[in-house]
């Protein structure tokens, strides 16, 4: 499963859904990790933008998926607020893997900028990616999974030199864990339109997107009020044989829809 968790804004339906489905591998973007506080909710402030924030979503998902190994990949450390008290908090993405599937290689890296240690930074902010190679004993082969959270350009989702560089860096992270003959799945909230040059770069790895090639009309839920219904994608190489693939419309657990692939 690949999902942008929207920082846990719809926490209760999100956690209930993850417990129910319990995917063998979960690629989750927009994850908050606040080791300096055990509070459930803190406040995010960005100028006039004030938002209650699920302060320990990484902890919460670890507790909801006790049979999984969780790996948190921070992009930045900034500040959340408990009243007038500033609390250092990390923001990034996380990967959760069922414990019966050993991780035999992994690579964490940045697709835009680098780790921001003294604040979330100016837009477009730092963005990270994580790739793993796991071994499936039942089927007798490894599979590689990589996900990223693409940069957010305040001007829109058009192709830019920064997005071109982002796609090349993501492709490098994908291949860094692969060996010859491996199955590869690449996914995430790319923050691009289906026409983006990103897909031409990833096609060089033999990757084809399942969302657009199978006719899904978007990956956003009713909680997203802007135009443009695509943000999330899942691509596979020719060695991956899907049993099923779906863009889950209900329940709504975020302003993004979960992407669910069964091999």
Q: What is the pLDDT along the chain (263 residues), one digit of tens a residue?
A: 999 999 999 999 999 999 999 999 999 999 999 999 999 999 999 888 888 889 999 999 999 999 999 999 999 999 999 999 999 999 999 999 999 999 999 999 999 999 999 999 988 999 999 999 999 999 999 999 999 999 999 889 999 999 999 999 999 999 999 999 999 999 999 999 999 999 999 999 999 999 999 999 999 999 998 888 999 999 999 999 999 999 999 999 999 999 999 99
pLDDT of 46 reads 83
CATH number of 23-29+68-74+92-262: 3.60.10.10
Residue 52's pLDDT is what? 86
- How far apart CA 18 and CA 179 sit, in angstroms, is 31
Sequence-distant (≥ 6) Cβ neighbours of residue 148 within 8 angstroms: 29, 93, 111, 127, 128, 129, 130, 166, 170, 173, 188, 189, 190
Q: Would you tell me how many other CB atoms lie within 10 Å of the CB of residue 84?
A: 5
- Chain centroid to CA 260: how far? 13
Write down the pTM of the prediction.
0.97
Q: Looking at residue 50, what is its pLDDT? A: 85
Angstrom distance (rounded) from CA 190 to CA 129: 11
What confidence score (pLDDT) does residue 195 get? 97
pLDDT value, residue 48: 81
Who contacts 58 (Cβ-Cβ below 8 Å, separation ≥6)? 31, 32, 33, 70, 72, 94
Spatial distance between the Cα atoms of 173 and 178, rounded to a whole number of angstroms: 9
Rounded-to-integer distance, Cα 193 and Cα 24, Å: 28
- How far is Cα 254 from Cα 224, in angstroms, rounded to an integer? 9
Interaxial angle between packed helices 11-21 and 57-64, expressed in degrees from 0 to 180 and rounded to the nearest 10: 30
pLDDT at 228: 87
Using DSSP's 3-state secondary structure scheme, residue 137 falls into: coil
Q: Please state, in angstroms and as integers, the Cα–Cα distance from residue 34 to each residue in 37, 81, 90, 123, 168, following that order.
A: 6, 11, 6, 22, 31
**The pLDDT of residue 169:** 98
Q: What is the pLDDT of residue 51?
A: 84
Spatial distance between the Cα atoms of 263 and 257, rounded to a whole number of angstroms: 19
Q: How would you class 180 by CB atoms within 10 Å of its CB: exposed for 0-12, middle for 13-18, buried for 19 or more?
A: exposed
């Amino acid at each position: 499963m690949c999902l942008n968790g929207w920082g846990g804004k719809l926490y209760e339906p999100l956690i209930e859904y993850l417990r129910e489905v319990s995917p063998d591998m979960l690629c989750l973007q927009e994850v908050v990790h606040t080791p300096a506080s055990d509070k459930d909710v803190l406040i995010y402030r960005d100028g006039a933008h004030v938002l209650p924030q699920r302060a320990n979503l990484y902890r919460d998902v670890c507790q909801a998926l006790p049979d999984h190994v969780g790996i948190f990949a921070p992009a930045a450390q900034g500040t959340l607020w408990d009243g007038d008290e500033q609390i250092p908090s990390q923001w990034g993405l996380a990967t959760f893997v069922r414990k019966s599937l050993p991780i035999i290689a992994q690579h964490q890296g940045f697709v835009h900028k680098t780790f921001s240690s003294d604040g979330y930074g100016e837009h477009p902010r730092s963005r990270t990616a994580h790739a793993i190679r796991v071994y499936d004993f039942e089927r007798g082969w490894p599979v590689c999974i990589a996900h990223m959270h693409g940069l957010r350009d305040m001007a829109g989702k058009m192709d830019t030199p920064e997005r071109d560089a982002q796609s090349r860096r993501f492709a490098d992270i994908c291949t860094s864990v692969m060996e010859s003959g491996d199955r590869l799945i690449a996914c995430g909230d790319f923050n691009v339109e289906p026409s983006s040059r990103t897909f031409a770069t990833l096609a060089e790895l033999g990757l084809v997107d399942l969302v657009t090639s199978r006719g899904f009309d978007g990956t956003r839920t009713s909680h997203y009020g802007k135009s443009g219904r695509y943000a999330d994608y899942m691509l596979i190489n020719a060695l991956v044989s899907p049993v099923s693939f779906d863009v889950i419309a209900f329940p709504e657990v975020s302003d993004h829809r979960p992407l669910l692939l069964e091999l």
